[in-house]
Amino acid sequence: MILLKSIPKVDKFVSNPAFKNCSKQLIISIVKELFENLREEILSQRIDSINEEELVSKTLDKYNQITSSSLKKVINATGVIIHTNLGRSLIDKNVFDRVKEIATSYNNLEYNLEEGKRGERYAHISKIICKLLGCEDVLIVNNNASAVFLVLNTFAKNKEVIVSRGELVEIGGSFRIPDVMNSSGAILKEIGTTNKTHTKDYLNSINENTAMLMKVHKSNYSIEGFSQEVGFEKIIDMANENSLIDYYDMGSGHIVDLPYGLQNKEPSVLDYMKFNPSLLSFSGDKLLGSVQAGIIVGKKKYIEKLKKNQLLRMLRVDKLTLALLEENMKALLLEKYEEIPTLKMLFKTTDELKENATKLKNEIDSLCKCSLVNTSTLIGGGTTPNQRIPSVALSIQIKNYKPNKIEQLFRENKIIGRIENDKFLLDFKTIQDDEIKIIVEKIKEIING
Ligand SMILES: *Cc1c(COP(=O)(O)O)cnc(C)c1O
């Protein structure tokens, strides 16, 4: 146990010049833990010598591990535009710059500059959204999941909400309509069958305890074949006739008509607003292409009631969210789609994708075997399930490496691609123009070891 005595004194050890640029407090805490483990290892005779230099480098490793940022930029070469695991929608750099001043200075978030008194946080963006969507009023909450929760809790606590069995969705991150309904206090009234729901199913289920007719977007699946669902416009009619609230959890909620004929299957928020629904909600960072937020639009009297729910205080959004949303909504209103990366990517033509793919191919042709591939990808984010859109990719082959090894090497360099038909692909639908030169550098590093 003589070895125990050779563990350095903490005070002396941390004064090592190797730590001179480090936070002393953090170094001390790491060293104490390290020495504690060392003591145990000595006592259980797992080590028989102590090397101070090794201890210094172990301490620095740990220090760097803790202090480096865990959230990192990655290059999305999967082709999936709204990739939930990779942060969904991007914010344009210039838009972000315009918003920076709001975050880094005081602002009128809840201050009425004309009257010199308290103002309303949600007012900043309501005018622009109402203009954009043709709705009476709007409310912004943390995300669409909280929008659903707030709507159900406000209007259907201890009351029945009628939903088609074909629409009882589970989306990623364990958001399940029956469970959300349950925790909000609403009572789920399932109607119809998995494949078919008729208007009479809604009408037959209405009783004195019914509060709402709800429709949910089938975000990540489709029911094909012998199937039928009731459109939201019909649900709005039935709700009106029975003095009930109609509500559509639209999930993604797009405003701009989708390319590739996709809009034929997916009416936009504007299409639905023409029917004057009670309430409709969707995500800020899916096809709308902005930040994480839940956007609830509809009739003023219902939005007013939502604002009075104490829960709103728990679900409210920050100034950064509102500032980004305001800029993005302005861009949409002015049809400046180039400022919304999600839309920019969506509308990129295969010719443009080919051009970028060729640019990269020319740069790396001498390094590895690569070829242009016509392929297809998904919008993602629970928007248009099972509907593929055309794209262009570059398949990368490296001598002696299998596709999954190549995938791993790229991933270690924060380039996330995909494997298709036993080939590793970089899909250009989601690669940003300024990322091509980064990919070239990374490929050089990968190939040259
Ligand atoms: C995505 C989605 C949600 C959840 O939206 P978040 O913004 O992720 O909270 C809720 N309902 C449907 C139908 C969705 O597609």
Testing ligand 1's pocket by substitution, the residue of 170, 250, 283 carrying the most ligand atoms inside 8 A of its CB is 283
Backbone angles phi, psi at 184, to 5 degrees: -80, -15
CA–CA gap between residue 173 and residue 190 (Å, rounded): 23
pLDDT, the chain, mean: 95
Confidence of residue 205 (pLDDT cuts 50, 70, 90): very high
Residue 269, φ and ψ in degrees, nearest 5: -55, -40
Count Cβ neighbours within 10 Å for each residue of 325-354 and write b for 16 or more, e otherwise. bbbbbbbbeeeebebbbbbbbbebebeebe
Q: Is 384 in the pocket of ligand 1 (CB under 6 A)?
A: no
CA angle 378, 384, 389 (to 5 degrees): 35
The helix/strand/coil state of 349 is coil
The CB of 145 under 6 Å from ligand 1? The reply is yes
Task: Give 384-421 pLDDT, tens digit per residue.
Answer: 777 899 999 999 999 899 999 999 999 999 999 999 99
Tens-digit pLDDT profile for residues 77-112: 999 999 999 999 999 999 999 999 999 999 999 999
At 242 the pLDDT is 98
Region 203-227 average pLDDT: 95
> 140 CB less than 6 Å from ligand 1?
no
CA of 220 to the centre of ligand 1 (A): 10
User: pLDDT-derived band of residue 431, with 50, 70 and 90 as boundaries?
Assistant: very high
Lowest mean pLDDT among 62-66, 155-159, 260-264, 352-356: 260-264
With a cut of 90, say whether residue 375 has pLDDT above it: yes
321 CB less than 6 Å from ligand 1?
no
Q: What are phi and psi of 418, to 5 degrees?
A: -145, 160
428-437: average pLDDT: 97
Instruction: Answer yes or no: are the C-beta atoms of 298 and 135 closer than 8 Å.
Output: yes
Distance in Å, CA 173 to ligand 1 centroid: 10
Counting atoms of ligand 1 from 1, which one is nearest the CA of 217?
Answer: 13
Contact 283, 294 (CB under 8 A): yes
pLDDT of res. 233? 97
Lowest mean per-residue pLDDT among 80-94, 172-186, 261-275, 423-437:
261-275
**216 CA: nearest ligand 1 atom:** 13
pLDDT score, position 173: 76
* Residue 178, pLDDT above cutoff 70: yes
Comparing CA positions, the residue from 168, 302, 177 lying closest to residue 245 is: 302
CA of 145 to the centre of ligand 1 (A): 5
The arithmetic mean of pLDDT across residues 47-69, rounded, is 94
With b for 16 or more beta-carbon neighbours within 10 A and e for fewer, the 264-285 pattern comes to eebbbbeebbebebbbbbbbbb
How far does residue 87's CA lie from ligand 1's centre (Å)? Answer: 14
Q: How far is the CA of 283 from the centre of ligand 1 (A)?
A: 6
- Position 67 pLDDT exceeds 70: yes
- Express each pLDDT in 96-155 by its tens digit: 999 999 999 999 999 999 999 999 999 999 999 999 999 999 999 999 999 999 999 999
Question: Which has the closest alpha carbon to 249: 263, 261, 235?
Answer: 235
d(CA 168, CA 240): 23
Helix (H) or strand (E) holding 175: strand 175-176
The confidence band for 288, taking pLDDT boundaries of 50, 70 and 90, is very high
Q: For ligand 1, atom 11, which residue shows the shortest CA distance?
A: 251
- Reported as a single tens digit per residue, the pLDDT across 306-363 is 999 999 999 999 999 999 999 999 999 999 999 999 999 999 999 999 999 999 999 9
Answer yes or no: is the C-beta of 217 below 6 A from any ligand 1 atom.
Answer: yes
Ligand 1 atom at minimal distance to the Cα of residue 220: 15
Q: What is the pLDDT of residue 264?
A: 65
171 pLDDT above the threshold of 90: no
pLDDT at 222: 87
> Taking the CB of residue 163, how many other CB atoms lie within 10 A of it?
28
pLDDT band, very low/low/confident/very high, at 263 (cuts 50, 70, 90): low
Across 53-79, average pLDDT: 96
E-assigned strands of 260-343? 279-283, 294-298
Judge contact between 254 and 262, C-beta under 8 A: no
